[in-house]
Amino acid sequence: MPEQADQLFIRGIAIFARHGVHQAEADLGQRFALDLTLELDTREAGRTDDYNRTVCYASVFQTVREIAETRRFKLIEALGETIADQLLAEQPRLTAVEIEIRKPSAPVAGIFDTIGLKIRRERPSE
Residues involved in catalysis = 103
Alpha-carbon gap, residue 89 to 9, rounded angstroms: 18
- Cβ atoms of residues 15 and 34 within 8 Å: yes
Which residues fall within 8 angstroms of residue 56, CB to CB, at 6 or more apart? none
- What single letter denotes the amino acid at residue 72? R
